[in-house]
Amino acid sequence: MKRLGILLSGRGSNFLAIASSVAAGELPAEIAIVISNRGEARGISAARERGLLAAVVPSRGREREEHESEVVSLLQQRQVDLVCLAGYMRLLSPQFVRAFPHRILNIHPSLLPAFPGLEAQRQALDYGARVTGCTVHFVDEHLDHGPIILQQAVPVLESDDLAALSSRILEQEHIAYPEAIRRVLGGGWTIEGRRVVFQR
Amino acid sequence: MKRLGILLSGRGSNFLAIASSVAAGELPAEIAIVISNRGEARGISAARERGLLAAVVPSRGREREEHESEVVSLLQQRQVDLVCLAGYMRLLSPQFVRAFPHRILNIHPSLLPAFPGLEAQRQALDYGARVTGCTVHFVDEHLDHGPIILQQAVPVLESDDLAALSSRILEQEHIAYPEAIRRVLGGGWTIEGRRVVFQR
């Protein structure tokens, strides 16, 4: 059974989608730890309600290196195979990324390389995009940049405002993230250039 | 009946899709002129075979201003309502764009703003994108940049090479371009910021 570590900063709706997928037996994995950098994160209480190990490692007012090494150390203690960022509002340092080579995933609410960074849904609306979506990718040292595992398109409707579009993208995120984890854990893939190539 | 002017440099497969759509009565428009900057463009002979007025305005070895003013003058003589770029391998000058405000369309084989410029399909493959597509947009003074009328997503398959992906995108282009022209000619739209807003 593969072991997942989840990092979040907020409500962790993608964490809940992953947890449900695990509970339903759709993902051959277990959640070994949930870590938040914010004590008040709703994802932490949700994890505890589900009987999962949840830890708060506060980032505020601390050196990044010190904070990160504590997080890395917790993930390693829990022998995590895959780290899943689920609304984790911090950029990982190159040192963090190197500690888990091709073993950190993130989800982003656009079809990368379009609309990286904050407020991707608003960026898509402002740009007048007619199609946007979500992307699950390996995390590298650059923001919203690593090799892509899965993308799901979401049309922008004439009637869409920010809330409606964000909510339709989020629905797809909740499907895409567990599916991407399943594919990565299934193995049989290599990375060529920046392409993830699945052999099976 | 609205009048279309088509600009092309090669085989003009999107021109043929537009012409078929017109012939089938799906587009309430007629093709008033087809102009190529290359004498050997297959789109020109195809236009003549269909009984359409086709003109070659050579660009090679001429000043851009001189070439463009001849093209603009032909389009105006033919009282064109909408200019459709269909594989026209030249950037239009700001003067050209201003001569037809919000009346020039282009199609690009990616979901803009991703993969602008040449070889968009190869860019998508090299980036490892899982979803790409095509975009019909108004032409402004910047490359592959104006307000978007329509986008169509196309999945990148595990088995795709450049030819296979390009061909699946092209199929969608041939559907998207006539549909976008139909929407623009239908009226009832405004441009807000860089969004095309359809009221009906």
- The enclosing domain of A72 has a CATH number of 3.40.50.170
Which residues of chain B from 34 to 93 reach within 8 Å of chain A, CB to CB?
none
Question: Do A75 and A16 fall within a single domain?
Answer: yes
> Each residue of A148-186: pLDDT tens digit?
999 999 999 999 999 999 999 999 999 999 999 999 999
Report, as an integer, the average pLDDT of B146-167.
Answer: 97
Catalytic residue among A67, A102, A108, A145: A108
Q: Is the pLDDT confidence value at B103 over 90?
A: yes
Mean pLDDT for A69-73 is: 97
Q: Give the confidence band of B200 by pLDDT, cuts at 50, 70, 90.
A: low
| Residue A102 appears among annotated catalytic residues | no
Q: Are residues B9 and B92 in the same domain?
A: yes
pLDDT of B90 reads: 87
The number of domains in chain B is: 2
One domain for residues B68 and B120: no
Residue A151's pLDDT is 98
As for the ipTM of the complex, it is 0.94
pTM: 0.95
pLDDT of residue B146 exceeding 70: yes
- So what's the pLDDT on residue A42? 95
Is-contact B25 B31, C-beta < 8 A? no
Q: Taking a C-beta distance cutoff of 8 angstroms, is the pair B115, B36 a contact? A: no
Return the pLDDT at B47.
97
Q: Does B165 contact chain A (CB < 8 Å)?
A: no
Q: Tell me which of B46, B66, B101 is where a domain ends.
A: B101
Q: Which domain-ending residue is among A101, A129, A152?
A: A101
Q: How many CA atoms lie within 13 A of A64 on its CB side?
A: 7
pLDDT at A112: 98
Instruction: Give the domain extent around B140.
Output: 106-200
- Is there a single domain that holds both residue A130 and residue A156? yes
How far is A14 from A177, CA to CA, in rounded Å? Answer: 7
> Are A194 and B127 inside 8 Å of each other by CB?
yes
Does A124 lie in the same domain as A94?
no
Question: Nearest CA of chain B to the CA of A28: how many Å?
Answer: 23
Residue of A114, A158, A194 with shortest CB distance to B128: A194
Q: Where among A45, A70, A101 does a domain terminate?
A: A101
Catalytic residue chosen out of the listed positions B67, B102, B108, B142: B108
Chain B residues in contact with A130 (beta carbon < 8 A): 135, 148-151
Whether the CB of A161 is below 8 Å from some CB of chain B: the reply is no
Q: How far is A198 from chain B (nearest CA, A)?
A: 7
CA A140 → CA A62, A66, A101, A182, B108, distances in Å? 23, 20, 9, 20, 29
Cβ of A193 within 8 Å of Cβ of B126? The answer is: yes
CA–CA distance, A6 with A105 (Å, rounded to integer): 10
pLDDT at position A200 is 62
